[in-house]
Amino acid sequence: MTRKTGPLLLAGLLQAGAAVAQEPAAAPAKTGGPDTQEMLFWFLLSTLVLVLLVFALLFTMIVVKLKPQLRKLYELPTVHDTWSGKVVGLLVGDTRLVNGERKDELMGHEYDGISEYDNDLPPWWKYGFYFTIVFAVGYMGYYHVANAGQLQLAEYETEMRQATLLVSAEADDPNKLTTYTALTAPADLAAGKSIFATNCAPCHGASAEGKVGPNLTDEYWLHGGEINHVYKTIKYGVTSKGMVAWKGKLAGKQILQVASYIQSLQGSKPAGAKEPQGEKEAGGKPLASK
């Protein structure tokens, strides 16, 4: 080592040490243990269950210990027939509060060895029935008289609107309608005819006259006859009616070629055409959104 290289090496070591000292300490790795909030939730839930069990045990012990005194209280004329007295009676073994006043009382009707008994409806059942009456009146007043709440159809429409806002407005979004115009070049229509004959004719017929699927040559449509509605129906399908989605099997241009070919068949009136289905569209503009 020469005289010049020694000081240079020392300076380099000092700079490296300073750089290491300035680097922040690495953050400790997170352990894979359970989340603290989850542990706290289960701890509080377990504590609540334990407290309820202790309370139930203490209540049972008190009732057993005080049963003679409760029975004397229950036998008092001023207590016996009151609602609170029936609660006390339930604690000492009288089930009138649950089963009613009359139990297996003969009504004097007997035929062919079969006797008719008179039994009370269980009070809990009667109180439940009264509650349903009050609830029904309140429900009608809230939803049908005051119109303060949404009915099922309105709730469904609101949820559908909210769901639409969450759907991405990408090019592959089924809620976003395309802005294509129909292809008219003979080559495109020939390609669309070939694709239609291979994939669509089994359901719609060789001339689109309709078989299992609807007739595509008339002016009645189930899901819109405008070129972009037809494109959407072919691309995404209508699974509820057996129409499969072709977006994974056909390219976008192929779908547009098929849709354009279908539009070119309007008014062709093929033999054996299926009866009209859906809504009529006038002047090429949909009145409703085959």
Structure confidence by residue, pLDDT tens digits, 37-75: 888 999 999 999 999 999 999 988 888 888 888 888 877
Segment 9-27 shows an average pLDDT of 48
User: d(Cα 20, Cα 175) in Å, to the nearest integer?
Assistant: 56
Tens digit of each residue's pLDDT (9 = 90 or more) over 87-116: 787 787 777 777 766 676 667 777 777 877
pLDDT over threshold 50, residue 182? yes
CATH of the domain at 244: 1.10.760.10
Higher pLDDT, 79 or 279: 279
Tens digit of each residue's pLDDT (9 = 90 or more) over 23-38: 444 444 444 455 788 8
Tell me, yes or no, whether 223 lies in a domain. Answer: yes
Residue pair 274/210 in contact by the 8 Å Cβ criterion: yes
The whole-chain average pLDDT of the chain stands at 80
Tell me, yes or no, whether 201 lies in a domain. Answer: yes
pLDDT over threshold 60, residue 13? no
Tell me, yes or no, whether 176 lies in a domain. Answer: no
DSSP 240: G
What is the tally of structural domains in the chain?
Answer: 1
Tell me, yes or no, whether 250 lies in a domain. Answer: yes
pTM of the model: 0.42
And the tokens for 159? 């949820």
pLDDT over threshold 60, residue 20? no
Tell me, yes or no, whether 260 lies in a domain. Answer: yes
Tell me, yes or no, whether 125 lies in a domain. Answer: no
Closest Cα to residue 212, out of 180, 182, 244?
A: 244
User: d(Cα 202, Cα 266) in Å, to the nearest integer?
Assistant: 19
Q: Which domain holds residue 230?
A: 186-280
Would you place residue 124 in the very low, low, confident or very high pLDDT band (cuts 50, 70, 90)?
confident
